[in-house]
Amino acid sequence: MTSPHHADLLLVTRPVARYAEQELRRTDDAIPETKPIITAALP
């Protein structure tokens, strides 16, 4: 994927560190609406 604008979903596979939270939010905002967000953070 070269751009978040071409994404169909956002897949988060690990816990998000505080320093990465803002970048993840920017990526989420760049993905077109009606997107599923899948989280699978395991301990």
Domain assignments of the chain as residue spans, ordered by start? 4-39
Range 14-22 average pLDDT: 87
Tens of pLDDT, residue by residue over 26-43, are: 888 888 776 777 778 666
Which residue, chain included where needed, has tokens 């899948």? 38
| Per-residue confidence (pLDDT) for residue 1, from 0 to 100 | 47
| Per-residue confidence (pLDDT) for residue 25, from 0 to 100 | 87
State percent of the chain over pLDDT 70: 86
| Mean of pLDDT over the chain | 78
- The answer to whether residues 37 and 28 touch, using CB atoms and an 8 Å cutoff, is yes
Give yes or no for residue 20 having a pLDDT over 80: yes
The candidate with the shortest Cα–Cα distance to 41, out of 15, 6, 18, is: 15
